[in-house]
């Protein structure tokens, strides 16, 4: 019998990056399949997307509640909208930042990974998102389809790992 190798928990391994609209509709979702299949035991490759989406939608109510409390109390103080680790399971931790226009950027990472630069990465993804959405021909309700944005997200994720 072949022994399964335990994934290493060192460093940063991003499972997914998501941008969620004010109406809780995904505008952008990228799943890093190699990391996801290594850390998410509850799914097979063909169900990976649905599993990640399920985790994301399970967490949205809690994220919205936490964001509402933070806005009311001005908890972040720096105006960044950074919510920190807002949702956690045995397998993943989810981090989020919410813009002033209620766009949510969510970073899904394995539980126990190192998170020193997550706030910076979320902030840079938000900045890149704003740049991508400044196109006057872009319908703000449609999903984000920008090669430049996706390339920038991939670079940030690669540098985080």
Q: Could you report the per-residue pLDDT of 76-129, keeping only the tens digit for each? A: 456 678 888 888 888 889 999 988 888 899 999 988 776 778 889 999 999 999
- For residue range 130-151, list pLDDT tens digits in order: 888 887 877 777 888 889 999 9
Residue with tokens 């022994």: 3
Evaluated on CA atoms 145, 147, 148, 149, the torsion sign reads: positive
Token digits for 76? Answer: 């972040």
Beta bridge partners of 94: 87, 108
Domains, the chain, with CATH or none:
16-160 (3.30.450.70)
DSSP 46: G
Residue with tokens 């799943």: 31
Beta bridge partners of 12: none
- For residue range 29-73, list pLDDT tens digits in order: 999 988 887 888 766 666 888 888 888 888 888 787 777 766 654
CB of 76 closer than 8 Å to CB of 82: yes
CB of 40 closer than 8 Å to CB of 92: yes
């Amino acid at each position: 019998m072949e022994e399964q190798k335990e994934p290493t928990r060192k460093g940063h391994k991003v499972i997914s990056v998501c941008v969620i609209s004010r109406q809780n509709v995904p505008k952008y979702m990228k799943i890093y399949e190699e990391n996801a299949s290594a850390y998410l035991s509850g799914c097979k490759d063909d169900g990976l997307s649905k599993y990640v989406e399920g985790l994301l939608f399970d967490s949205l109510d809690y994220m919205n509640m936490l964001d509402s409390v933070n806005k009311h109390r001005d908890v972040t103080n720096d105006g960044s909208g950074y919510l920190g680790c807002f949702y956690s399971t045995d397998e993943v931790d989810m981090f989020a930042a919410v813009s002033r226009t209620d766009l949510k950027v969510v970073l899904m990472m394995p539980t126990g990974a190192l998170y020193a630069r997550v706030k910076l990465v979320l902030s840079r993804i938000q900045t890149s998102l704003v740049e991508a959405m400044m196109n006057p021909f872009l319908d703000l309700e449609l999903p984000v389809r920008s090669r430049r944005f996706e390339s920038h997200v991939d670079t940030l994720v690669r540098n985080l790992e």
